Amino acid sequence: MNFGFDLDGVLFPWHENVYQWCRDNLDVDVSYREFWSWPDGWFGSRRNKPFIHDIVRLPELYLTPLAKKTHIKAIHRINRLIPGEIHYITARPVEVTDATKEWFQFSELPFSDNVHFTKKQGGKKEVLLKRLNCSFYVEDRVDYAESVLGVSNLFLVNRIWNEGFEHPDVVRIKDVKDIPNILERGL
Ligand SMILES: [Mg+2]
């Protein structure tokens, strides 16, 4: 049994980076909550605009901070509890492939060669998860969570953009570091 992780909003604070970048470079003066409320917050209501298309392709927003030590520890523990491979499956734009690889190079996460870009491989997380035999997946977005439910057991990290979403087969967590204890107790 293999275990899959999303990156942004799960292992990497991309939303914090985008918020900070927009405050520094654009005329953004709303709270983090207002910025990321979904789908009508500052970002969500502009998500199809060309300038947003450019912002999400800025490599600098994918390089720091490196993976949290608490996450690295948790993933090692998960791997002992569920022996198998760890995979990282992301819908990041292909333009940030090098930045992503650089982040993994310095982040010391286990199985760091197992990085998969859905946009290079058919476009769907559930297809990749099935192909990679991932019985578990950790996600932060509702749309992906719903599409993955039939394939993997799902952990959903509590975020502003998924507030209110409930599903009997979804296990909500505050942080990746909560997962080992949940697995030990039994799902
Ligand atoms: Mg995500």
- Residue 156 Cα to ligand 1 middle (Å): 10
Instruction: Split the chain (187 residues) into runs of 10 and give each run's mean pLDDT.
Output: 97 98 96 97 97 98 98 98 97 97 97 96 91 97 95 96 95 98 90
Residue boundaries of the structural domains of the chain: 2-11+68-185, 14-62
- Residue 140 Cα to ligand 1 middle (Å): 5
- Residue 4 Cα to ligand 1 middle (Å): 12
Q: Can you list the pairs that 122-128 forms with residues at least 24 positions away whose Cβ atoms lie under 8 Å? A: 125/6, 125/89, 125/91, 126/150, 126/151, 126/152, 128/89
- CATH superfamily, domain 2-11+68-185, is HAD superfamily/HAD-like (3.40.50.1000)
What predicted TM-score, i.e. pTM, was given to this entire model?
0.96
